[in-house]
Structure 1
Amino acid sequence: MTTTTAPAAAKAPARRRVPRKGLGLRIYTWAVIAWLVLPIAVMILFGFNDTSSKFNFEWEGFTLKWYAQLFDREDLTTALINSITIALASTVITTVLGTLVGLALGRYSFRGKGVSNLVLFAAISSPELVMGASLLSMFVTLNTPRGYATILVSHVMFSIAFVAMTVRARAVGLDPSIEEAARDLGAGPWTTFRLVTLPLIMPGVISGALLAFALSIDDFIITNFTSGSTVTFPLWVWGSTRTGTPPQVNVMGTLLFAAGVLIAVLNMVASRRRARRG
């Protein structure tokens, strides 16, 4: 008679404790984020400060009156309108021109392509002080009165390289067989661009446009060289803080920051939806 021994019950595998690797790096990362957010938090907080002093440095109480009185100052309203209109006009012009340049550099080979890339990289890496001084010298040499038009031209000139490089990075990765298939089906050059190429590079175009708008609306150095008597919002902030810090500065900064965050979130959501659709 053969006896069998029941197999011993299998022991449950011991749970391995995941080592807390990179704890120091995570702490450092959060410390850097906190350092970056701290000035913004102070700005938002002091936008609600019920101060009677022109120097908005001490907390005196909570109030919403500065939001209600935001546009009571005509000089602030004028400066803000100047900044927004210049930024919008600059963004439209820069997006069109930069997209064409980016497509040319990303999709085609031509003589001078390397030099063109070098010039665009030089424009991106050049200090704004150098570009502002060179633009001022050009306008003075051409005897051009400084004002709204010179600011617009300057903003287009320094931001077009950013749009071109953003679109170029998107255009380089496109599959040319998709456009070839559209042409084989009878689509002309304009139809192919409108229905095939443009939708494929649209994420790069949108990113470049948002970057151009952000660069334009908060530019101070180049605008200071080329503004003449025209005052934009950054110039108004600089001028007002030399004699005090109006609470409206914090309020407007808070609203611009909130608008930027909203646009970034919407862009991220749209990108995820496009990725899900494939």
Structure 2
Amino acid sequence: MRSNGHPLMKAAAWGGLLFMHFPIAVIAMYAFNTEASSFSFPLQGFTLEWFAKAFAREDVRAAVWLSVEVAAQATALAMLLGTLASAALYRTAFFGKEVITLLFILPIALPGIVTGIALLSAFKLAGLESGMLTIVTGHATFCIVVVYNNVIARFRRTSASLLEASMDLGADGFQTFRHVVLPNIATALLAGGMLAFALSFDEIIVTTFTAGSERTLPIWLLNQLSKPRDTPITNVVALMVMLATMLPILGAYYLTRDTDSVAGAGK
């Protein structure tokens, strides 16, 4: 049974939501403001001029494309490794399993600056120059976590009898994976990939240590803080980043919201 809740609790909940989302609303509001010089209030007017100017700038387009490319590659790598890791660990019991599980989860629990310094030291030790490869590798370390958590949770709700029945009926390992396992974990895998893409797209701390001379969109935004004349364009790009990260998160939520009590629950 659901309770309506105390009015004070409702007010506190709405107050917390307002506190968290008010800065986002301010950025969105000033992205359409006709005034370019400062954050003046009330707004001087409504315009789409800054969107056109933002998309016309080569540095913005290059930063957007680099962020999309990095996020796509990091997500693909995380989906592959996270799925393999979850498949290997969900049913097998062995000494040290909890330690290995902790190692998979640790990158997203550690402060970003610790992860960034550790990755930078490892890359220097390996003789790798900072660039596209190091950014993708760095992002994949924490993107694996969300894929692993989503997929292993679905594996735990998948009946082992389905796999046994498939093998008893003559299917080999690949056929069982393709026709039984993959349909059951599909939504969890897709949701994990969408969350991984969102995490990678707006990551800045780890990227700062691994990017070298490359400039992803979050790094471009950070550099823009010292350029007050570009404030309207910066607001537009910040709004783009928020939308690019919000939509995959909402998509992942809708993909998995009705599958918590269904074994497998593939769609």
TM-score normalized by structure 2? Answer: 0.88
| Cα displacement string for residues 100-154 of structure 1 (whole angstroms, at most 9, x for unaligned residues) | 1011111223443222112123223111110100111112222221111111111
CA shift for structure 1 position 261: 4.5
State the partner residue of 2:211.
227
Residue pairs, 1:38-117, within 5 angstroms: 38-53=22-37, 56-58=38-40, 59-117=43-101
CA shift for structure 1 position 264: 4.6
- CA distance in 1 between partners of 2:204 and 2:172 (Å): 44
Distance change >3 Å, CA 108–CA 265, structure 1 → 2 = same
Deviating more after overlay: 235-244 vs 59-68: 59-68
CA shift for structure 1 position 221: 0.4
CA shift for structure 1 position 260: 4.4
Deviating more after overlay: 227-236 vs 171-180: 171-180
- CA distance in 1 between partners of 2:157 and 2:71 (Å): 30
- CA distance in 2 between partners of 1:209 and 1:140 (Å): 29
Distance change >3 Å, CA 218–CA 47, structure 1 → 2 = same
1:236 aligns with 2:220: yes
1:251 aligns with 2:241: no
- CA distance in 2 between partners of 1:121 and 1:266 (Å): 23
- CA distance in 1 between partners of 2:111 and 2:151 (Å): 23
Extract unaligned runs of 5+ from structure 2. none
TM-score normalized by structure 1? Answer: 0.84
- CA distance in 1 between partners of 2:5 and 2:211 (Å): 53
The AA in structure 2 aligned to 1:66 is: W
- CA distance in 1 between partners of 2:248 and 2:115 (Å): 29
Mapped contact 2:130–2:211 kept (Cα < 8 A): yes
* RMSD of Structure 2 on Structure 1 (CA): 2.4
1:30 aligns with 2:6: no
CA shift for structure 1 position 269: 4.9
Partner-residue secondary structure (3-state), 1:231: coil
Mapped contact 1:102–1:166 kept (Cα < 8 A): no
- CA distance in 2 between partners of 1:262 and 1:144 (Å): 34
The AA in structure 2 aligned to 1:173 is: R
Mapped contact 1:80–1:232 kept (Cα < 8 A): yes
- CA distance in 1 between partners of 2:195 and 2:82 (Å): 12
For 2:180, which of 188, 196, 209 is the aligned residue? 196
- CA distance in 2 between partners of 1:236 and 1:258 (Å): 17
The AA in structure 1 aligned to 2:205 is: I
Mapped contact 2:67–2:201 kept (Cα < 8 A): yes
Percent of aligned positions that are identical: 35
The AA in structure 2 aligned to 1:254 is: L
The AA in structure 2 aligned to 1:208 is: G
Distance change >3 Å, CA 114–CA 268, structure 1 → 2 = closer
For 2:202, which of 213, 218, 239 is the aligned residue? 218
- CA distance in 2 between partners of 1:65 and 1:25 (Å): 42
Distance change >3 Å, CA 267–CA 125, structure 1 → 2 = closer
Structure with the greater alpha carbon radius of gyration:
1
- CA distance in 2 between partners of 1:170 and 1:44 (Å): 37
Residue pairs, 1:156-195, within 5 angstroms: 156-195=140-179
Partner-residue secondary structure (3-state), 1:153: helix
Mapped contact 2:138–2:206 kept (Cα < 8 A): yes
Partner-residue secondary structure (3-state), 1:146: coil
| Cα displacement string for residues 55-80 of structure 1 (whole angstroms, at most 9, x for unaligned residues) | x4224322111112222221111111
